[in-house]
Each structure stands twice: as structure tokens, then as C-alpha cells.
Amino acid sequence: MCTSISFFPSIQPGNEVVERSPGYGLLWTCNTSVVQSLYLSSLSSTDYTALHHPRFPSHQVRIKKTDFCDPTVNVYTGYLDVDQGAKHLFFYFFESRRNPEKDDVMMWINGGPGCSSAMGLLMELGPCSIDMNNSSTNGTLWNPHSWNSEANIFFLDQPVGVGFSYADYGETVETTEDAARNIHAFVTIFFDMFSSFSGRPFHLSGESYGGRYLPSFASYIYDQNALAQARGQSTLNLQSVLIGNGITDISTLYSGRYEIECGTAALEVPFQHISTCVRMKIALPRCLNAMQRNCVDHFDSIDCRAAVNFCDSELSTGYWASGRNVYDISKPCIGDLCYLENSVISAYLNNLDTRQLLGVESPNNFSACSSEVGRNFNAHMDKYAVPAQFYVAGLLERGIRVLIYAGTYDWQCNWVANKLWVDKLDWTGKSQYNVAEWRDWTVHGTKAGETKKSGVLTFATIRGAGHMVPHDKPAESFAMVSRWLAQEDL
């Protein structure tokens, strides 16, 4: 069952609007003055309310209240229905613990491509964490370092096929640029419908493949803002992008991996076999040259794939054979995606009571990552086809703040690779950034890592953290985000 509400900003308060909700057979009559002051707290906890927007006739947002995860705040779940309702993207929304009426809004997206943001929610930065010791009554534990302590935050399962997101007829989204359109539609509908959030500072955050996703999503939002402003329409107050251990400029990835394994960038004594390091050192120049020539300077799908295959064969197989966690070199790889939490999260979210509480309508079981989505993106060589660092440069030139942060124990999307691409990023602030000094940043008097900043660009390391920084260093990650939202130096 679903209540239908339509948003018509061009109609003056006092006029009645009658709108039939496609697919639900319900008729809703409302005064537009009520619609424009719609509050999340007025939503049903049993039925979805459908939100429509004239700028996005093939989209709708369905949203409901729920008692999931954090009893101290209002929590909502729902779907973004796209392409005339054929595809459904699932989301979680948690109001801020501090001041939901004034705090910024943030969206978190996990990577993959194909991994659910429920991982970020339940084992990283969400208001509750999966209970690994069966000590709770509901399967989760309170997270005192949740990022919703100071921000209203979305967790979105995208693209379709990820987590509880699904398609009715086998449709797929297979490139980052296609996914960007849905992100923009979803956020616009939400901000326009719930006027209490209208104009709030908005931040896009994520990790891993988020280094490819987020620069594209933010750029699309910025460009659509310019078009909307020219038409006299509402815009999104995009303020910043936060990328944790991201894959952005793929040309520096393998240089970074060599330093993590064979240098002292992560550990005081290299852990990789000397013979393996010699093999990597010999292959590295050829790898870098082929990647730059065939994937960055001029993308050729056949030659780029050949370059990637060579680099992986010569520079990655040694680590995969080590048995170490590819996301944290200090740990062994144990469990699904090297973490035991993932199988527990899957079991918890596949529980019928949990699905009912969330309002899940997906016919599929939950899995942490979708291999099908990953294969589809790989078939398009999405990671390589569009250099994401070009988007980052464009955002910086337009005054959008960017935070690149990385745990030093990650191998997969390591901090050295991120430092290298940020150092060589071609933008007008490059020279000022490169001469800026590195500084220690601390939490409760203890060093958390190193950081440097110039203008709207900040880089930060988190010492002793792996790929999933909030999982490994929750207090430090929250302190970082708190200072970032307050526009303070780390």
C-alpha cells in the first residue's frame, strides 16, 4: 500500500491538486501548501508514501518510517523507482543525533562496483553495528562514533542489483555516468519535497569504487544545478566530496601497491618476498607506460585491458598468494571479502523480520556485493573508460571542497597511489598544493595521521587503518568528518 503525494512548485498555495499514483490505484487530494511543508515525521511506519516531481516524470521516491537501528533518531527507508517504475534503488535515511533541523545532509555510497552501502552502515560509520558476539537483543549494537552524530545521512544501494535494489524485468545500469542521473533525481526529489531540508549543505561521501562514482555524481549534480538555476528551478547546495581509499586515477595504483608491499609506506619492514619485489620492480615501468598510454592518454578498450592484465599478473599475484587481507595488510583474509562481518550482515538482513521492518520488496536475497553488477561494469571497462581525476579537477576549479583520505594499511586502493595522483592532479591550485606542508593531525592528543591542505583540496592519512577507515579507526574517522563538516582544518 502506498500514499501518493505530488509536488508542484509552480502552483500557488490554496489550489488543490489531485494526483493518481501510477501502479497503486490510490487517489490523493491535497492542498499544495501542505505538500510544500511535508515533514518526514508525518510519514507512515506501515505504508510507503510516494513522492513525485514534475522535473522527473519517470521517477518516484517511496519512503516510510521505521524503528530500525537507532532508537534515538527518526529513521526512514524506501525506494527510488526509476525508468517508469521498472528499477528500484533502496535507501536508508537517519536523521542527525545532534540537530536534524539544522545539520548538513550527507550521502554515503560503498564501492565495488556492486557492493551494498549496508556494509558502510552496519560495519563502518552507521548508527548501529552488526553484533558479532550475540550480546544484543536485536542483532545490532549502538555506534557512538556514527557519522549521523552530526549529520543527516543517507545510505544508498546503487546501481540497481546492489543490496536490496532490484529491477522488475532484468534491466541494469552498467556505467557510472548512467548511475549519476538517478542519484541526482533522488536527491532533488527529496530536498524539494521536504522543505525543512531545502538549501541544506549537501556532501557526497564513500569509499573504494566511490573514487570513481563520487566525482562523476558530484559533477553531474553541479552541471544540473547550472541548468536548473537558468530555468528558475531549485538547486542542490552541493558543498563537498569525501573519498576514502578510493580508486580515482588508475595510473598510480600499481606504483602504490609496490611501495606498500616492498617499501616502508605501511610497515617499518617490508613483508613481501625479495624475489617477488624484484619481479615487481622490473615489470613496473612497462606497466605504468602501458596504463598511461592505453588507458589514460588515449583509451582503447582492447589495449587498456591488455595493460591491466599485464599489471595484475606481474604486480598483484604476489599479494593475492600471501593470504593477507587485501583491505588490511596487518590481517589475514578470513571470511566473505576478508571480513567475518559480511556473512553475519547478510544473515541479519535476510531475516524476514528485518526485511519487514525495513519494508524490503526485493525478491532477491541480500548479498554484500553483486558479482553480476561487477561483471557488467567490467564489461564496459568503467573503471578505466573515463579518468575520474578529471572530474575532481573540474569540481575543485568550481570551489567544491574535496577530501581525499586513506588508511595506511590498505593494499587494494592504497594511500600511496592516492597521494601520487593528488600530487600530479592538473588544476590551477596544483603548485600551491604541492608546496604546502604536511602536518600531523591528532585526536584526543594522539596522532591519527598526516594531512596537507591547499584551498579546497585536503589530503589525509589515517595511520593503522585499512580500506574501511571507520571500521578500523571509528573515533578518528568521526573526528575527521566532524571537523570537515565544520569547515575546520583537520
What pLDDT does residue 253 have?
96
We report the CATH number of the domain holding residue 54 as: 3.40.50.1820
What pLDDT does residue 393 have?
98
- Contact predicate 245/207, CB 8 Å: yes
Domain contains 314: no
pTM of the predicted protein model:
0.91
Domain contains 373: yes
Residues spanned by the domain of 24:
1-252+338-490
CA distance 409 to 331: 9
Which letter, b or e, does each residue of 73-93 get, where b requires 16 or more Cβ atoms within 10 Å of its Cβ? bbbbbbbbbbbebebbbbbbb
CA distance 291 to 366: 36
What pLDDT does residue 52 have?
84
Domain contains 182: yes
Domain contains 220: yes
Domain contains 321: no
- The pairs formed by 305-309 with CB atoms below 8 angstroms and a separation of 24 or more are 305/381, 308/384
CA distance 79 to 339: 28
Q: Is 43 helix (H, G, I), strand (E, B) or coil?
A: coil
Grid coordinates belonging to 390:
578529471
- Return the residue matching grid coordinates 517508469: 84
Grid coordinates belonging to 43:
510519514
- Return the residue matching grid coordinates 595511520: 463
For 74-143, strand residue ranges (E) read: 75-82, 87-94, 105-109, 128-130, 140-142
What pLDDT does residue 276 have?
97
What pLDDT does residue 39 have?
67
What pLDDT does residue 170 have?
79
Domain contains 299: no
Domain contains 323: no
- Backbone angles phi and psi of 158, in degrees to 5: -145, 155
The rounded average pLDDT for each run of 10 residues, N- to C-terminus, in the chain (490 residues) is: 43 32 30 43 84 85 92 93 84 96 96 94 97 92 97 94 90 88 89 86 97 97 96 94 97 96 96 97 97 92 96 96 95 94 96 95 91 92 94 98 98 98 97 97 98 98 98 98 97
What pLDDT does residue 18 have?
31
Number of structural domains found in the chain? 1
- Backbone angles phi and psi of 482, in degrees to 5: -60, -45
Q: Is 422 helix (H, G, I), strand (E, B) or coil?
A: helix
Domain contains 437: yes
Active site residues: 208, 410, 467
